[in-house]
Homo-oligomer: A and B are copies of this chain.
Amino acid sequence: MYEFFRQYLNEITSSIISDAEFQHIEEAFAIKSMKKRQFLLHEGSVCKYMAFIVKGAMRHYSIDEKGNEHIVRFGVEGWWMSDRESLRMQTPSKYNIDALEDCDLLVATNEQLNRVKELSPLFFRMAHLLDERHSIANQNRVHASICYSSDEKLLDLMKNYPDFLQRFPQNMLASYLGISPETFSRVRKQINAK
């Protein structure tokens, strides 16, 4: 359970974490299992956890006045899930996070996170790298969302996250791209024809 997390930390920081340091991290993160459709965060409440996904898949989304879901982010093994804004500022979230598959998570609260950042320099560095990557990924997502037509959006998705197409239903992928499921289906057909 923690072994995968340890590997992840080594990899992302290009280091080998010591037993002593990993001890701190292990203490800060609790194991949490979630069944499909269970919620990690409900709109209106403050985000409790920063969650590392060991197994399974999740989605981070909002619901508008008309009841439409808008997925801002997916998460799979080796990804983090949280509403950072809500977690850091301790403000009510406008988002939901739930499990798309049965999940095994490692979760830490905001305080535990701050504590472990102080105790483990490697974890601190990891947090930094993570923010950087997250920042860059979001930048690219903004770019795609502003510049691309729906077929370009889909092609971009197919290129960057080909596994998502197998793993998630098309209506969710459509929501992620900001297009309707029908358009998704039609554009997909059109692309495959080539």
**Which chain B residues border A177 with CB–CB below 8 Å?**
146
A-B contact pairs, 25 of them (CB 8 A): A62-B143, A62-B147, A64-B147, A70-B143, A72-B142, A72-B143, A72-B146, A84-B135, A84-B139, A88-B132, A88-B136, A128-B128, A128-B131, A131-B134, A131-B135, A135-B135, A135-B138, A138-B138, A138-B139, A138-B141, A142-B142, A142-B145, A145-B146, A146-B177, A147-B178
**Interface size on A (CB < 8 Å)?**
25
CB nearest to A178 among chain B residues: B146
Cα–Cα distance between A140 and B142 once the two chains are bound (Å): 10
From A84, A128, A134, A135, name the one whose CB has the most chain B CB atoms within 10 angstroms. Answer: A135
* A155 located at the interface, meaning its Cβ lies under 8 Å from any Cβ of chain B in the complex: no
Give the residues in chain B near A135, CB-CB below 8 Å: 84, 131, 134-135, 138
**In whole Å, how far is A82's beta carbon from the nearest beta carbon of chain B?**
11
Chain B residues with CB under 8 Å of A84's CB are: 132, 135-136, 139
Interface, chain A (partner B; CB < 8 A): 62, 64, 70, 72, 84-85, 88, 127-128, 131-132, 134-136, 138-143, 145-147, 177-178
Copies in the complex: 2
6 extra interface residue pairs, beta carbon distance < 8 Å, beyond A128-B128, A146-B177: A88-B132, A131-B132, A138-B138, A141-B142, A142-B145, A147-B178
Pair A72/B131 contact, Cβ less than 8 Å: no
Instruction: Provide the bound-state CA to CA distance between A128 and B123, in Å.
Output: 13
Q: Which of B64, B85, B147 contacts A70 (CB 8 A)?
A: B147
Choose from B72, B145, B178 the contact partner of A139 (Cβ within 8 Å): B72
